[in-house]
Amino acid sequence: MSNVYFKVIIEEIPRLLGLLDKNPVSPTFGSFDRNYWHYNISDFPCARYQEATLTLALLYVLNYEKNPYYNSEGILGFINGGVNFWRKIQRGNGSFDEWYPYEGSFVATAFSTYAISEVLLLLKDKIENFEEALRSVKKAVDFLSANVDYTACNQEAGAILTIYNYYLLSNEDRYKELAYKRLVSFYKLQKEEGWFPEYGGPDVGYLSLTIDYLAKLYEKSNWDIIREMMDKAIGFLYYFSHPDGSFGGEYGSRNTKYIIPSGIEFATSWNKKAGYIAFNLRKALSEKSTIGPYNLDDRYLAYIGYTYLQASLYYKEDLEIEGRERYIDKYFNQSGIWVFSNDNFYLVSNFKKGGVLKANFKNGYLLKDSGVVVKIRNKVYASSWLNPEEEVISEDRGYKVFRELKLLTFPKMSIIKNIFLRIFQSLFGRFNFVNKITKKLLRDILISKQKSSGVKFFRVIRVFDDKLEIEDVIISSEKISKVFCGMENPYIFIPSSRYFEIGDLNRYYHQFEVGSKRVTIRRVFNEKGKEEFSYKLD
């Protein structure tokens, strides 16, 4: 198998360069935010698009046979434009914006500054305004030094690496000491099972991103504590490489289905479970059976494209692999995730998300089930919300969970909302404490908070040698109008989710009218994924 990481990203570089303002006399020269500089449909530039500058820097230095961008003066000019535009859009407090003006985004500051600092480390005196760029990096690092965000742990991992990169650029020991101090605090966040919390639970894609940042930091610092963290995280991630070549899914806290490759490839030099993940990822990327650059949108191609080039640097043909056992029956108490495998199917279910599951059957059939969606009058309720405190009950051949359905909302931007947000941010967004309140409010609306319904939901999942049983009971004080089941239902706003993968074509679901206050649904799947479906109204 050739270096698949380089192959899948090099094919997307023309698209990436199409995002870039390449006109050196333009005031937005170097911007990768095409919506801002070209379409004029955004009133501010998203700083995270500038992470694509690192992709160009790697292309500039990688002397690969099929890399037409190697040592290109044109590419070097674009890199300098990207660095300069990043400097221009920095806020006075050192922060950057991702989603709205004066956001003061922790993640945009951490991740874009990592990318630019890495460009400075790679190209040094080839950067025209190196000293000015270094001052901007320092301002951003000082902003990160004064702020911490553990809501999504991957962001803190990126911030620690960025602080360390500035130490490498400046030789100021206090930043090295700060990076280590933050790392020790971060170490304490890792669960015994190996994952780091992402909005309260584990998520496959974001855990791979955390591993990626830790790997880069380990390579630069050689701090032993990082290898320990990586090994635990990889040991957890090991179970979520599916037989069809996909990774993750709705059972994760943030619904992601991709693997950031470079940290995993780096770890293959000592970790055989990383070798197993890398082997499957290489095969899946070559077959396009998992999320890769080819089906990322423009935004995330700009955000993470460079990780495929970094993975290509660690690529080696011979992998030492620790194969997974065929028979697995493992329940992770902290995360609520159950992994079961036998000769007939591979099942992963998260009971702290109400029994959301993904099952691969031996003939290739894929079942992706996010629980139930219920219509009562004109309102829609769902079972697949994350509750880290959920009580999960073990029973013969499976597990069960009792919970309440939550009201689904589908928030959309409107003219009034947009005008209000812009005016509010223009007046108050310069104040850091206001930004934190605004960010928390938006997170609550789009991700964290769910409204109660009073509708009860019970799910039991049982496995046998040759069949999988799912039984759901829904009880309401009002008549239930309609029920949907057997489909994916990602209802929270996670930017890096909902990408297409080939397994999506395998999906189908049931919907039926109810007209009563209680319904029991029973589904039984044989070893080939053939389903027996029935329901009873009470």
pLDDT digits (tens, 9 = 90+) for 222-246: 999 999 999 999 999 999 999 999 9
Q: Give yes or no for residue 174 having a pLDDT over 60.
A: yes
Give, in degrees to the nearest 5, the angle at Cα 178 between 174 and 183.
150
Residue 300, class by beta-carbon neighbours within 10 Å (0-12 exposed, 13-18 middle, 19+ buried)? middle
Give, in degrees to the nearest 5, the angle at Cα 154 between 17 and 176.
95
pLDDT at 493: 52
- 301-321 average pLDDT score: 95
Q: How far is CA 85 from CA 28, 160, 209, 383, in A?
A: 7, 24, 26, 45
CA–CA distance, 250 with 236 (Å, rounded to integer): 17
Element at 280 (helix H, strand E): helix 272-287
In the numeric block, the tokens 């990383």 are attached to 274
Please, what sign has the CA dihedral across residues 59, 64, 66, 70? positive
Q: Give percent of the chain with pLDDT exceeding 70.
A: 90
Q: What is the pLDDT of residues 462-508, one digit of tens each?
A: 999 999 999 999 999 999 999 999 888 766 656 666 667 777 776 66
**Per-position b or e across 94-131, b if 16+ CB within 10 A of its CB:** bbbbbebebbbbbbbbbbbbbbbbbbbeebeeebeebe
What class has domain 4-314? Answer: mainly alpha
Q: What is the pLDDT of residues 438-473, one digit of tens each?
A: 666 655 555 555 677 789 999 999 999 999 999 999
Among candidates 468, 160, 496, 441, which has minimal Cα distance to 303?
A: 496
Q: What is the pLDDT of residues 191-216, one digit of tens each?
A: 999 999 999 999 999 999 999 999 99
CA atoms within 13 A on the CB side of 430: 4
pLDDT at 1: 44
Among candidates 408, 335, 419, 351, which has minimal Cα distance to 376?
A: 408
pLDDT at 257: 93
What is the phi-psi region of residue 290: left when phi exceeds 0, alpha when psi lies from -120 to 50, beta otherwise? Answer: beta
**Per-position b or e across 264-289, b if 16+ CB within 10 A of its CB:** bbbbbeebebbbbbbbbbbebbeeeb
How far the first Cα of the chain sits from its last, in Å, is 57
pLDDT at 245: 92
- 402-416 average pLDDT score: 80
β-strand partners of 459: 401, 472
Among candidates 358, 366, 123, which has minimal Cα distance to 244?
A: 366
How many of the other CB atoms lie within 10 Å of CB of 229?
A: 24
**Per-position b or e across 431-456, b if 16+ CB within 10 A of its CB:** eeebbeebbeebbeeebeebeebebe
Q: Which residue has the higher pLDDT, 172 or 443?
A: 172
Q: Which residue has the higher pLDDT, 151 or 74?
A: 74
pLDDT at 298: 96
**How does DSSP assign 156-206, residue by residue?**
HHHHHHHHHHHHHHH--HHHHHHHHHHHHHHHTTS-TTS---BTTB--HHH
Query: Can you give the pTM of this predicted structure?
Result: 0.92
pLDDT at 225: 98
Among candidates 241, 234, 261, which has minimal Cα distance to 339?
A: 241
Report the relative pairing of strands 398-407 and 451-463 from DSSP bridges: antiparallel
How many of the other CB atoms lie within 10 Å of CB of 503?
A: 23
**What does the H/E/C string look like for 26-64?**
CCCCCCCCHHHHCCCCCCCCCHHHHHHHHHHHHHHHCCC
Give the distance, in angstroms, between the CA of residue 318 and the centroid of all CA atoms in the same chain: 28
CA–CA distance, 292 with 300 (Å, rounded to integer): 10
Structural contact between residues 316 and 301, judged by C-beta atoms closer than 8 angstroms: no
Q: What is the pLDDT of residues 331-358, one digit of tens each?
A: 999 999 999 999 999 999 999 999 999 9
Q: Percentages helix, strand, coil for the chain, rounded to the nearest 5? A: 45, 20, 35
How many of the other CB atoms lie within 10 Å of CB of 228?
A: 12
pLDDT at 495: 66
Among candidates 244, 192, 328, which has minimal Cα distance to 501?
A: 244
CA–CA distance, 116 with 54 (Å, rounded to integer): 7
Domain ranges of the chain: 4-314, 338-409+450-537
Q: What is the pLDDT of residues 29-71, one digit of tens each?
A: 999 999 999 999 988 999 999 999 999 999 999 999 999 999 9
Structural contact between residues 76 and 415, judged by C-beta atoms closer than 8 angstroms: no
| Tokens at 112, concatenated | 């874009």
Q: What Rg value do the Cα atoms of the chain yield, rounded?
A: 24
Element at 460 (helix H, strand E): strand 451-463
Q: Give yes or no for residue 220 having a pLDDT over 60.
A: yes
pLDDT at 445: 56
pLDDT at 358: 96
Q: Give yes or no for residue 434 having a pLDDT over 70.
A: no
In the DSSP assignment, the letter for residue 360 is: E
- 405-426 average pLDDT score: 73
- 513-529 average pLDDT score: 95
Q: Which residue has the higher pLDDT, 516 or 435?
A: 516
Confidence of residue 312 (pLDDT cuts 50, 70, 90): very high
